[in-house]
């Protein structure tokens, strides 16, 4: 975790808000808030958003980076490629429930409050992740093992489906106008921090344990951390007040009765744009930050330890760049940033993938940093854009459904599709062309959109 984020966590713990103590911690409608109180509330909102995403993506990183081990533990009766496809298949199937989860959590968050939804989702998410550490293996219970793994991953996927959208909407509604981009970029930064910690953890496992030890018990260790992380996140969230935007909506009795129905009837065009632009984010995120270490070790012949070290270095650069891109989106606009990211991905992805062939370790790291920089242009801007495109009454629902639908179809399946494409075509550049296609879809969506950076968040 970066020093900046660690400082935010410290600020939240030192000055946490007591439940229901609105008079001392949150300004009433008749009492204007001071700048110091607003800054304190914003810091706490940032920490609350950071923790949940960190837990979620540490789990996904652990699963993705341990995919070759999980394939052996849960699918030992297959060859290496089939086993890896099976492990990624479980990863992908767990995403199919995410659009349903997005509808449920979006409805809950738009009707009863962002804080309430986020406090409950992190509890279910961390508990289901924790359970993975205690699952029996194929050697112990046969086919029941992968079935149990799938069930737990489905529960985890459902609970996590409201996390990214809810945290982004939460921060966007707390952040001052003109700084929404930089504050909502905390959400993808927390995502990368979870991946970074997962990469470091798995790299250490490979460095200090033998392959037999990792297959025996080492793969369980990262999932054990979900319980303490989740409890910390829930503790912080339940001690927050809800966002000023939602509180005002609730006070005026203007909360949507059926957010999803309203979303589908009045905002279909915005949903199409949101889905389209998220396609690039979904494919690029999972190929660049989750699948890449496996690609380097299985297709490029790089050692697993070296591939994880390279991923770790690139993730550090990614976290630093994400705040820069979020801040830049406040200055030049969301549309400019997202169109630029789409064009650059379409133009540079294939050449960068070609550059990995026979490259030195230093070159591979530089290529991964370049991919990370391209991704931050999209990832540092997208959460704010998706928060701004929908009004407060349906913001959580619109963001959660579109984001999760795109990730279910193209994100969670990306490692599976990439592995399958290579196997079918025999072309190691197949994942690159898949990413180029996603960039084309996102470009079309953004060309049909409007600029949202210089407008206040809409309520209706």
Residue 358 backbone zone (phi > 0: left; psi -120 to 50: alpha; other: beta): left
Assign domain 41-447 to its CATH architecture.
Up-down Bundle (1.20)
Q: Scanning the structure block, which residue is given the tokens 């959590």? A: 105
CA 245 to CA 363: how far, in whole Å?
47
Residue 402 confidence (pLDDT):
96
Most confident listed range (108-117, 198-207, 332-341)? 332-341
Summarize the confidence of residues 270-297 as an average pLDDT. Answer: 88
State yes or no: pLDDT of 25 exceeds 70.
Answer: no
CA 41 to CA 52: how far, in whole Å?
17
Residue 35 confidence (pLDDT):
63
Residue 3 confidence (pLDDT):
38
Query: pLDDT tier at 19 (50, 70, 90 boundaries)?
Result: very low
Residue 58 confidence (pLDDT):
85
Summarize the confidence of residues 215-224 as an average pLDDT. Answer: 92
Largest CA distance in the chain: 68
Q: Which residue has the higher pLDDT, 436 or 157?
A: 436
Residue 9 confidence (pLDDT):
36
CA 161 to CA 411: how far, in whole Å?
13
Summarize the confidence of residues 234-258 as an average pLDDT. Answer: 86
Residue 329 confidence (pLDDT):
96
Instruction: Dig out the tokens for 290 from the structure.
Output: 């989750």
Phi, psi of 163 (to 5 degrees): -75, -55
Out of 177-181, 352-356, 361-365, 414-418, which region has the weakest mean confidence (pLDDT)? 414-418
Please provide the average confidence, as pLDDT, over all residues in the chain: 85
Q: Scanning the structure block, which residue is given the tokens 């392959």? A: 211
Out of 16-30, 43-57, 436-450, which region has the weakest mean confidence (pLDDT)? 16-30
Out of 55-59, 275-279, 419-423, which region has the weakest mean confidence (pLDDT)? 55-59
Residue 12 confidence (pLDDT):
37
Q: Delimit the domains of the chain by residue range.
A: 41-447
Instruction: Dig out the tokens for 402 from the structure.
Output: 């579109």
42-59 pLDDT, tens digit per residue, is 888 888 888 878 887 888
State whether residue 186 is helix, strand or coil: helix
Is residue 45 a contact partner of residue 6, using CB atoms and an 8 Å limit?
no
Name the percent of the chain lying above pLDDT 70. 91
Nearest to 354 by CA among 409, 417, 427, 412: 427
CA 324 to CA 381: how far, in whole Å?
10
10 Å CB burial of residue 163 (0-12, 13-18, 19+) is buried
Summarize the confidence of residues 136-147 as an average pLDDT. Answer: 91
Is residue 174 a contact partner of residue 384, using CB atoms and an 8 Å limit?
no
Name the percent of the chain lying above pLDDT 90. 40
Is residue 86 a contact partner of residue 222, using CB atoms and an 8 Å limit?
no
Summarize the confidence of residues 363-387 as an average pLDDT. Answer: 93
Nearest to 318 by CA among 376, 363, 272, 273: 376
DSSP annotation string for 368-403: HHHHHHHHHHHHTTHHHHHHHHS-GGGHHHHHHHHH
Nearest to 428 by CA among 347, 342, 358, 346: 358
Is residue 50 a contact partner of residue 190, using CB atoms and an 8 Å limit?
yes
Check residue 252 and report its DSSP letter. Answer: T
168-202 pLDDT, tens digit per residue, is 999 999 898 899 999 999 999 998 898 888 878 88
Residue 196 confidence (pLDDT):
83
298-320 pLDDT, tens digit per residue, is 778 888 778 878 878 888 888 88
Query: pLDDT tier at 37 (50, 70, 90 boundaries)?
Result: low
Is residue 326 a contact partner of residue 384, using CB atoms and an 8 Å limit?
yes
State yes or no: pLDDT of 2 exceeds 60.
Answer: no
65-122 pLDDT, tens digit per residue, is 788 888 888 888 766 677 777 877 787 777 788 899 999 999 999 999 998 898 898 8
CA 210 to CA 201: how far, in whole Å?
15
Residues 6+ apart with CB under 8 A from 34: none
């Amino acid at each position: 975790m970066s020093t900046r984020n660690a400082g935010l966590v410290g600020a939240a713990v030192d000055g946490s808000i007591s439940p229901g103590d609105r008079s001392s911690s949150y300004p009433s409608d008749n009492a204007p808030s001071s700048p110091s109180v607003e800054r304190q509330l914003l810091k706490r909102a940032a920490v609350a958003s950071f923790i949940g995403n960190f837990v979620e993506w540490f789990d996904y990183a652990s699963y993705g980076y341990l995919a070759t081990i999980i394939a052996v533990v849960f699918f030992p009766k297959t060859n290496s490629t089939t086993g890896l496809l099976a492990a990624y298949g479980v990863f992908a199937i767990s995403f199919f429930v995410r659009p349903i989860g997005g509808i449920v959590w979006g409805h809950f968050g738009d009707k009863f409050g962002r804080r309430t939804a986020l406090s409950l989702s992190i509890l279910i998410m961390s508990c289901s992740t924790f359970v993975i550490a205690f699952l029996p293996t194929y050697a112990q219970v046969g086919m029941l093992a992968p079935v149990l793994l799938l069930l737990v991953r489905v529960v985890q996927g459902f609970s996590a489906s409201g996390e990214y959208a809810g945290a982004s909407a939460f921060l966007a509604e707390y952040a001052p106008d003109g700084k929404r981009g930089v504050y909502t970029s905390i959400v993808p930064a927390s995502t990368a921090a979870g991946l970074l910690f997962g990469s470091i953890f798995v790299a250490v496992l490979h460095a200090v344990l033998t392959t037999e030890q990792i297959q025996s018990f080492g793969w369980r260790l990262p999932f054990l951390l979900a319980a303490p992380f989740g409890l910390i996140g829930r503790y912080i969230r339940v001690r927050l007040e809800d966002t000023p935007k939602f509180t005002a909506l609730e006070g005026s009795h203007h909360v949507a009765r059926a957010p999803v129905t309203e979303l589908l009837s009045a905002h279909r065009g915005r949903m199409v744009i949101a889905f389209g632009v998220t396609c690039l984010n979904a494919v690029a995120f999972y190929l660049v930050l989750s699948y890449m270490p496996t690609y380097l070790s299985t297709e490029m012949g790089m050692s697993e330890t070296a591939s994880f070290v390279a991923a770790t270095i690139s993730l550090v650069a990614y976290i630093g760049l994400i705040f820069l891109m979020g801040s830049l989106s406040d200055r030049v606009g969301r549309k400019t940033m997202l169109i630029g990211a789409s064009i650059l991905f379409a133009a540079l992805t294939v050449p960068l993938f070609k550059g990995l062939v026979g490259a030195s370790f230093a070159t591979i790291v530089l290529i991964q940093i370049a991919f990370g920089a391209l991704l931050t242009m999209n990832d540092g801007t997208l959460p704010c854009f998706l928060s701004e495109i929908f009004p407060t009454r349906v913001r959580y629902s619109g963001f959660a459904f579109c984001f999760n639908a795109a990730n279910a179809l193209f994100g969670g399946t990306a490692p599976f599709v990439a592995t399958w494409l290579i196997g079918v075509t025999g072309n190691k550049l197949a994942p690159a062309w898949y990413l180029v296609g996603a960039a084309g879809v996102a470009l079309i969506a953004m060309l049909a959109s409007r600029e949202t950076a210089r407008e206040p968040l809409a309520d209706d």
